[in-house]
A and B are shown apart, each in its own frame.
Chain A
Amino acid sequence: MKRYAYLLFIFGMHLYGFGQGNLQFNQVKIISNIDPPQTVPAGKVWKIESVFANDQDVYPASTSGSNQSFFASCGVPTLWYFYYGRYLAINNIPISFGVHSAGEQLTHLPIWVPAGSTICTCTNSSFCARGYSAIEFNIVP
């Protein structure tokens, strides 16, 4: 019995060693903010490399904000925003990729987005990103 348990362990380790996810380049995507929301397909992963500024690249530091509905079309509820621009919403989380006047990038790129995630853009504010570029990878054995 002990022998079989040992063999089972070896077999399990064998599967573990080959069960890790590896990536293979598939394509480069450029998505505009007038494109529909994008869902990362099954078996793929996206690496967002760049988020395009709309009308300005550096945003003034803000000490106050307001409730906004930048991503209402994607079902993201009204949230409190501090007005740092270049917004995308990933899985209903609004994320600013702007640079505020103190020089700090608010969200560092790249961002890895797993399969099944939805990336939403907006057009109803100058704080919306104009689009983004991503590399799509296949998850391969």
Chain B
Amino acid sequence: MKFGLFLFLCLTGAVYGQDTTFVKSAYAGSSLTVPQKVTWHIEKAFINNGDGYNLKINPEVFKPIYKAGEKIQIPFYTAEMELLNNQEGVFYFLYIKESFVP
């Protein structure tokens, strides 16, 4: 039973070391600041203009790693915005992997 619970927690990511993955949203042109004692790696990013779907963008618009205290500038424009019907009020969904720095 305990092994089953362990397996379950592994699958849900609850026992992965000190790395966590989460999603942050931010408006185009805004910025985010990486908290102290962690680094952020943006695994994938999407844009949305309020329509019912997210559009995946080229992750190379972001650096591979952002260090603690570093500011992430969210691009005001990406080429994928041309695929949206309305380019106003675009916001980003960033899938971020956070690693703790000892």
Taking Cβ atoms with an 8 Å cutoff, the residues of A that contact B are 7, 10-11, 14, 20-25, 110, 135, 137, 140
* B residues near A20, Cβ cutoff 8 Å: 54
Check A22–B54 contact: CB distance below 8 A.
yes
* A residues near B55, Cβ cutoff 8 Å: 22-25, 137
- CA of A64 to CA of B8 in the docked complex: distance in angstroms? 65
Q: Which residues of B1-45 are within 8 A (CB) of A?
A: 5, 8, 11-12
Check A22–B8 contact: CB distance below 8 A.
no
Chain B interface size, as a band, is 10 to 19
Check A110–B80 contact: CB distance below 8 A.
no
- CA of A11 to CA of B46 in the docked complex: distance in angstroms? 24
Check A23–B53 contact: CB distance below 8 A.
yes
- CA of A57 to CA of B42 in the docked complex: distance in angstroms? 47
- CA of A25 to CA of B78 in the docked complex: distance in angstroms? 13
* A residues near B83, Cβ cutoff 8 Å: 25, 135
